[in-house]
Amino acid sequence: MIMKSFESFLTEERLERLNFETKVKRLNGLVSQMGEGYRKGSERVKRLPVDSSCRIMMEPFRQVHGEEEVKADIDYVKDRERKWQEEDHEREQESIGEQFELLKTAIFNKYLGERFIVVRSSFYDDYKNGVDNVMVDIQNGNVVCAFDEVGDDSFFKKLKEEKVSAKNLEEGGSSLKYGIKLKDGHPVATRLQNLPIFCLSLSADKIREGIQEMEFSVNKKSSAEDKMFEVFMEELKSQVI
Amino acid sequence: MLERELPRVISGANSEKAENLKRLSGHLALFKESIFTSEIQ
């Protein structure tokens, strides 16, 4: 009897995990669909150089930084990733971090997509400059950046404030070597400096919960997404004003 | 927070840092105007 209930517990747990993994795949699919939309372009914003995970691609910047420099930066990215793999670098934390990046990229695109391009930064700017997301205002071309923290809001509040403050007030904001600005709706690949950077945070539990309750469609929003967007906007507000 | 802190830091900064912070401040003003409009929310 005890054995039977233990078996059923394992099955339930396994099913739950499989169900969550399926949802993460669907979230990947949704972000990929958004990336595809950017790559195809629209009336207002022409074709953007982003990959299937909505991340700014580095290769098109050869004309800006030169062939050799871009190659060196791509090598830097590969080298960093290889070292992480060798060190087995906090895999679980990394994976929840990746899920959070996908989640907020999807949510910001759903809620702000009419006004902003919201993409993930190039791997180089992610690793070198600590920027996770890049937001480009479609109307005035203004660019801001965001990074994220997976953690409990109360615990991270102080740390987050310090990091945001140091990046903006001490370092003069963030830089993007692989940045995008818009000229008449056409993306221009360029280096950008002195961009305000903000931090968005969510606990691991909230990230999992958010993914569980998400609508995996570009045009549909769940009440859980409404709440998460509200939290992000409040966070931004408290850091801006 | 940033909007309130910037003027103080700019006034105490050397010229190069102040120029960087002024550019940052310009980006911030544009962002504030667009992100918190009722149109988006």
- A223-233 pLDDT, tens per residue? 999 999 999 99
- Summary mean pLDDT of chain A: 89
How many Å is the maximal CA-CA distance in chain B?
Answer: 39
B4 contacts in chain A (CB < 8 Å):
241
Q: Hey, is the C-beta of B9 within 8 angstroms of any chain A C-beta?
A: yes
Residues 6+ apart with CB under 8 A from A119: A35, A38, A48, A50, A54, A55, A56, A105, A133, A134, A136, A180
DSSP letters for A64-78: HH-HHHHHHHHHHHH
> Which residue blocks in chain B are alpha helix, DSSP H?
2-12, 15-35
pLDDT at residue A161, rounded to an integer: 74
The confidence band for A3, taking pLDDT boundaries of 50, 70 and 90, is low
pLDDT at residue A153, rounded to an integer: 59
Query: Which whole number is the average pLDDT over A142-158?
Result: 74
Q: Determine whether the interchain pair A241/B35 forms a contact, defined as Cβ–Cβ distance below 8 Å.
A: no
CA torsion through residues A42, A38, A36, B37, sign: negative
CB of A163 closer than 8 Å to CB of A135? no
Q: How far apart are CA A64 and CA A88, in angstroms?
A: 35
CB of A147 closer than 8 Å to CB of A199? yes
Q: How far apart are CA A212 and CA A151, in angstroms?
A: 18
pLDDT at residue A90, rounded to an integer: 57
- Euclidean distance between the first and the last CA atom of chain A, given in angstroms as a whole number: 60
Q: Hey, is the C-beta of A11 within 8 angstroms of any chain B C-beta?
A: no
Q: How far apart are CA A125 and CA A68, in angstroms?
A: 17
Find which of B9, B28, B32, B37 to mutate to test the A interface (most A CBs within 10 Å of its CB): B28
pLDDT at residue A84, rounded to an integer: 84
| Structure-token pair, residue A67 | 């062939």
Q: Determine whether the interchain pair A142/B31 forms a contact, defined as Cβ–Cβ distance below 8 Å.
A: yes
Query: Which whole number is the average pLDDT over A103-109?
Result: 95
Looking at the predicted structure, is the pLDDT value of residue A140 above 80? yes
Looking at the predicted structure, is the pLDDT value of residue A117 above 80? yes
pLDDT: which is higher, A163 or B14: B14
Looking at the predicted structure, is the pLDDT value of residue A7 above 90? no
Question: Which position has the token pair 């929310």?
Answer: B41
Percentage above 90 pLDDT, chain A = 66
| CA-closest candidate to residue A202, choices A171, A178, A232 | A232
Please report, for chain A, the start and end positions of each structural domain, with discontinuous segments joined by +. 2-239
Q: Hey, is the C-beta of B36 within 8 angstroms of any chain A C-beta?
A: yes
Nearest CA in chain B to A110: B40
Q: Determine whether the interchain pair A169/B20 forms a contact, defined as Cβ–Cβ distance below 8 Å.
A: no
Percentage above 70 pLDDT, chain A = 90
CA atoms within 13 A on the CB side of A202: 26
Find which of A116, A142, A163, A170 to mutate to test the B interface (most B CBs within 10 Å of its CB): A142
pLDDT at residue A1, rounded to an integer: 53
Looking at the predicted structure, is the pLDDT value of residue A199 above 70? yes
Q: Determine whether the interchain pair B24/A195 forms a contact, defined as Cβ–Cβ distance below 8 Å.
A: yes
Query: Which whole number is the average pLDDT over A63-83?
Result: 95
Tell me whether strands A186-195 and A197-202 are parallel, antiparallel or unpaired. unpaired
Query: Which whole number is the average pLDDT over A22-45?
Result: 94
pLDDT at residue A13, rounded to an integer: 80
User: What ipTM was estimated for this complex?
Assistant: 0.92
Q: Hey, is the C-beta of A112 within 8 angstroms of any chain B C-beta?
A: yes
| Structure-token pair, residue A94 | 């990394």
Query: Which whole number is the average pLDDT over A188-215?
Result: 93
Of B3, B20, B41, the CB nearest to A240: B3
| Structure-token pair, residue A30 | 């949704």
Q: Determine whether the interchain pair A144/B31 forms a contact, defined as Cβ–Cβ distance below 8 Å.
A: yes
Of A139, A144, A169, the CB nearest to B5: A169
Q: Hey, is the C-beta of A114 within 8 angstroms of any chain B C-beta?
A: yes
Looking at the predicted structure, is the pLDDT value of residue A92 above 60? no
| Structure-token pair, residue A36 | 């595809």
Residues 6+ apart with CB under 8 A from B35: A112, A233, A236, A240
Looking at the predicted structure, is the pLDDT value of residue B40 above 60? no
Residues 6+ apart with CB under 8 A from A49: A39, A56, A57, A59, A60, A180, A187, A189
Task: Provide the whole-model pTM.
Answer: 0.88
Nearest CA in chain A to B6: A169
Q: Determine whether the interchain pair A194/B23 forms a contact, defined as Cβ–Cβ distance below 8 Å.
A: yes
Looking at the predicted structure, is the pLDDT value of residue A205 above 80? yes
